[in-house]
């Protein structure tokens, strides 16, 4: 039987844990940015931002951005929040938003093109990447102006050729090198790259998915998740 004192300690521990269960930092800029690291879990408490500060956070409600000066509840939903079906984030779909800026602002640089959705794998640079199903992987390229062939070698020596047609940005990973986590060496682009593929289980909501990507080291996909759940 649990004593009243033990029960009180459990309740206190749960309360303390709940107080820390705030949103995840996506990115931050400005004089206070050093306090907010990508993937950092914030306490569920108001945050004071200085003039010039901006922060983007992700939780189960989606992704929201805040700009200082002021004190903000980072868990408050936007007045014009767009509802995102979580199931849509677990399948390969066209990008809901084409850009991945730090914080929305008029005239802001939209940056380079980014793969659609969360799960398409970028062939431009070496990275740690997450997949739900290693047998069903899509590779993405930014320049679709010409046909292109890529040679893909798995870390166990299996090799396959992937052919992109003119205008084609996405292509499935050939079956000969699909089906298992591990390193994929890709040549045929501007420079050879290595994608370290990690398999993750599908979590139950947006925040849990974000935490899973961060924990696995799949930071670029964490950033893309934030873009695909950004509230207006």
pLDDT tens-digit map of 129-182: 999 999 999 999 999 999 999 999 999 999 999 999 999 999 999 999 999 999
Q: Which two tokens stand for residue 206?
A: 């947006």
Residue 24 to residue 223: CA distance in whole angstroms: 11
Domain-by-domain residue ranges, the chain?
Answer: 4-72, 133-199
Residues forming a β-bridge with 64:
57
Burial of 97 (0-12, 13-18, 19+ CB in 10 A): middle
* 173 and 186 Cβ atoms separated by less than 8 Å: no
* Residue found under tokens 């107080």: 19
User: pTM score > 0.85 for this model?
Assistant: no
What Å distances lie between residue 40 and 56, 63, 190, CA to CA? Answer: 11, 14, 33
Label residue 33 by pLDDT band (50, 70, 90): confident
72 three-class SS: strand
Q: Which two tokens stand for residue 212?
A: 């899973």
List, for residues 51-103, the tens digit of each pLDDT value.
888 888 888 777 778 888 888 887 765 433 344 456 667 764 443 333 333 33
Q: What percent of the chain has pLDDT over 70?
A: 75
């Amino acid at each position: 039987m649990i004593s009243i004192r033990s029960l009180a300690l459990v309740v206190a521990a749960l309360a303390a844990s709940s107080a820390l269960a705030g949103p995840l930092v996506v990115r931050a800029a400005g004089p206070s940015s050093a306090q907010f690291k990508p993937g950092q879990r914030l306490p569920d408490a108001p945050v004071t931002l200085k003039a010039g500060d901006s922060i983007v956070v992700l939780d189960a409600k989606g992704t929201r951005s805040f700009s200082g000066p002021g004190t903000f509840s980072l868990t408050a939903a936007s007045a014009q929040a767009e509802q995102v079906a979580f199931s849509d984030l677990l399948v390969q779909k066209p990008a809901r938003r084409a850009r991945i800026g730090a914080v929305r602002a008029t005239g802001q640089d939209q940056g380079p093109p980014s793969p659609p959705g969360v799960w398409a794998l970028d062939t431009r640079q070496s990275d740690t990447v997450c997949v739900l199903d290693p047998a069903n992987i899509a590779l993405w390229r930014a320049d679709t102006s010409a046909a292109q062939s890529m040679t893909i070698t798995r870390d166990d020596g299996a090799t396959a050729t992937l052919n992109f047609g003119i205008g084609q940005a996405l292509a499935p990973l050939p079956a000969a090198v699909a089906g298992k986590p591990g390193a994929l060496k890709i040549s045929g682009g501007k420079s050879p790259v290595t994608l370290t593929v990690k398999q993750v289980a599908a979590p139950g909501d947006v925040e849990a998915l974000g935490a899973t990507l961060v924990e696995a080291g799949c930071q670029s996909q964490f950033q893309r998740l934030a873009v695909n759940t950004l509230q207006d």
